[in-house]
Structure 1
Amino acid sequence: MSAGGDGPVTVLARGEGLAAWRQIADGLAADIEAGRLAGGAQLPTEAALAARFGVNRHTVRRALAALAERGLVRATQGRGTFVETPRLAYPIGRRTRFSEIASKAGREAWGDLIAAGSLPADAPTAEALGIAAGDPILELQTVHRADGTPLSTARTCLPLPRFAGFDRAYAALGSLTRAYAEFGVADYTRLSTRIGARPAAADEAARLDLTPGRVLIVLTSINVDAAGIPIQATRSLFAADRVELVVEGLG
Structure 2
Amino acid sequence: MCDSPDKTPIWKAIANALRSDLAEGHYSPGEKLPTEAALADRFGVNRHTVRHGLSALVSEGLVRTRRGAGAFVVSTPADYRLGHRVRFHENLIDAGRHPEKRVLSLDTRAATQGEARALHIQVGDQVCAYHGLLLADGQPLAVVLSVFPSMRLSGIFEALSATTSVTQALRSVGIDDYTRASTRLTAVRSTATQALLLQAGEGDPLLRSSSVNQCANAIPVEYGRTWFVGDRITLTLGET
| Same fold flag (TM > 0.5) | yes
Unaligned runs of 5+ in 2: none
Q: Which residue of 1 aligns with 2:93?
A: 103
Q: Does 1:189 align with 2:199?
A: no
Q: Which residue of 1 aligns with 2:195?
A: 205
Q: Which residue of 2 aligns with 1:227?
A: 217
Judging changes above 3 Å, is the alpha-carbon distance between structure 1 residues 174 and 82 closer, same or farther for their aligned structure 2 residues?
A: farther
Code of the aligned partner of 1:213: G
Q: Does 1:43 align with 2:33?
A: yes
Structure 1 residue 94: Cα displacement: 0.5
How many residue pairs match? The answer is 234
SS class of match (1:124): helix
Structure 1 residue 90: Cα displacement: 0.6
Q: Which residue of 2 aligns with 1:7?
A: none
Worse-matched range after superposition: 206-215 or 161-170: 161-170
Matches within 5 A, 1:70-85: 72-73=63-64, 82-85=72-75
SS class of match (1:94): coil
TM-score by length of 1: 0.77
Q: Deviations over 1:161-181 (max 9, x none)?
A: 344553554354222112222
Worse-matched range after superposition: 217-226 or 113-122: 113-122
Structure 1 residue 144: Cα displacement: 0.8
Q: Which residue of 2 aligns with 1:130?
A: 120
CA contact (8 A) 1:25 1:66 kept: no
CA contact (8 A) 1:113 1:170 kept: no
1:151 to 113, 134, 141: 141
CA contact (8 A) 2:180 2:213 kept: yes
Aligned equivalents of 1:127 and 1:144: distance in 2?
26
1:140 to 130, 152, 162: 130
Judging changes above 3 Å, is the alpha-carbon distance between structure 1 residues 120 and 40 closer, same or farther for their aligned structure 2 residues?
A: closer
SS class of match (2:231): coil
Aligned equivalents of 1:161 and 1:66: distance in 2?
55
Code of the aligned partner of 1:100: E
Code of the aligned partner of 2:181: L
Structure 1 residue 217: Cα displacement: 0.5
SS class of match (2:170): helix
Q: Which residue of 2 aligns with 1:217?
A: 207
Unaligned runs of 5+ in 1: 1-12
Q: Deviations over 1:73-117 (max 9, x none)?
A: 467x99x85423211111110101111011112322221111122
Code of the aligned partner of 1:206: L
Aligned equivalents of 1:246 and 1:145: distance in 2?
18
Q: Deviations over 1:22-56 (max 9, x none)?
A: 74885477448856555245533444311223234
Code of the aligned partner of 2:105: A
CA contact (8 A) 1:113 1:171 kept: no
Judging changes above 3 Å, is the alpha-carbon distance between structure 1 residues 207 and 65 closer, same or farther for their aligned structure 2 residues?
A: farther
Q: Deviations over 1:126-173 (max 9, x none)?
A: 010011111111111111112211111011111013445535543542
Judging changes above 3 Å, is the alpha-carbon distance between structure 1 residues 54 and 195 closer, same or farther for their aligned structure 2 residues?
A: same
Identical pairs, percent: 34
